[in-house]
Amino acid sequence: MHNIISQLNSVKNRIYAAEKANNLPRDSIRLLAVSKMKPAEAIIAAYDGGQRDFGENYLQHALPKIEELKYLDGIQWHFIGPLQSNKTKAVAENFHWIHSIDRLKIASRLNEQRPDYMPSLNICLQVNVSGEQSKSGMAVSDAESLAQKITALPNLNLRGLMTIPAATADNAELLKQFGILKNCFDDLRQKGFDIDTLSMGMSADLETAVASGSNMVRVGTAIFGAR
Ligand SMILES: *Cc1c(COP(=O)(O)O)cnc(C)c1O
């Protein structure tokens, strides 16, 4: 697991360089280490390297790891995958964040199922910025109305927006898609929503995402290796 520490450090160095290139203060970008499909040992290695935020997509893989690793102080679990309504309870009871909210139904269930002894569940709305039918996420034009409804749910804490752009090697196209999310974020803030998180950028495109205003990058492969 030696590799994981050195790969984690090189991702941190990429983030520092991106912060510098964009005149941002050091540590203004939060790194979410995406540990989906990776064993608990890999997560422990990254934790030992100082990492605290971990992202998981598949509930059935995540839950045993969360249980096994609950002794790790300050670890924060982020659910970043699609979620069916019959599986919301496990997210409400085990995660600190969910980035993939695109329907009120799921949010309402999470609000009801969040245990009283836990702090509010942090929420990012997933927005589809590519227009591709196959991609999850709501239309930009629906974000304000869902944000409004979620703000009214006491056990949820609306934190921001997330997107997964269409796969493309064209940097201009990527900038365009990230820019759509950034505009949506700025628009909501201007309308008074108290949000602080713009979750965009992965292993291959975190520099482009940071240049576009991201402040949370979700990085799997570059830390943990291929899946
Ligand atoms: C897998 C995944 C990532 C990480 O992707 P990498 O290319 O491995 O860095 C980020 N976000 C989401 C939603 C993912 O499913």
- pLDDT tens profile 110-169: 999 999 999 999 999 999 998 887 778 999 999 999 999 999 999 999 999 999 999 888
Residue 1 is predicted with a pLDDT of: 66
Q: What spacing in Å lies between the alpha carbon of 202 and ligand 1's midpoint? A: 6
> Pocket of ligand 1, candidates 34, 174, 217: which has the most ligand atoms within 8 Å of its Cβ, to mutate?
34
Residue 9 is predicted with a pLDDT of: 98
Residue 209: φ, ψ to 5°: -65, -45
Asked whether 78 lines ligand 1 (CB < 6 A), one says no
Q: What DSSP string describes 101-146? A: E--HHHHHHHHHHS-TTSPPEEEEEEB--S--TTS-SB-GGGHHHH
* Virtual torsion, Cα 94, 97, 103, 105, nearest 10 deg: 30
For 186-215, what is the mean pLDDT? 98
CATH class of the 2-224 domain in this structure: alpha beta
- Can you tell me the distance from the alpha carbon of 71 to that of 1, in angstroms, rounded to the nearest whole number? 20
Asked whether 220 lines ligand 1 (CB < 6 A), one says yes
Residue 63 is predicted with a pLDDT of: 98
Give, using CA atoms, the residue closest to atom 10 of ligand 1.
Answer: 218
- Can you tell me the distance from the alpha carbon of 74 to that of 58, in angstroms, rounded to the nearest whole number? 22
Q: What DSSP string describes 78-106? A: EE-S---GGGHHHHHHH-SEEEEE--HHH
Domain boundaries, the chain: 2-224
- Can you tell me the distance from the alpha carbon of 3 to that of 26, in angstroms, rounded to the nearest whole number? 24
> Pocket of ligand 1, candidates 15, 181, 218: which has the most ligand atoms within 8 Å of its Cβ, to mutate?
218
- pLDDT tens profile 203-216: 999 999 999 999 99
Please determine, for residue 45, whether its predicted confidence score (pLDDT) is greater than 70: yes
- Can you tell me the distance from the alpha carbon of 190 to that of 166, in angstroms, rounded to the nearest whole number? 27
Residue 2 is predicted with a pLDDT of: 67
Cβ(37)–Cβ(223) below 8 Å: no
- Can you tell me the distance from the alpha carbon of 224 to that of 110, in angstroms, rounded to the nearest whole number? 30
- pLDDT tens profile 26-44: 999 999 999 999 999 999 9
Please determine, for residue 47, whether its predicted confidence score (pLDDT) is greater than 80: yes
- Can you tell me the distance from the alpha carbon of 90 to that of 58, in angstroms, rounded to the nearest whole number? 11
**What residue type is 103 in one-letter code?**
R
* Virtual torsion, Cα 109, 220, 200, 123, nearest 10 deg: 20
Tokens 């008074």 belong to residue: 192
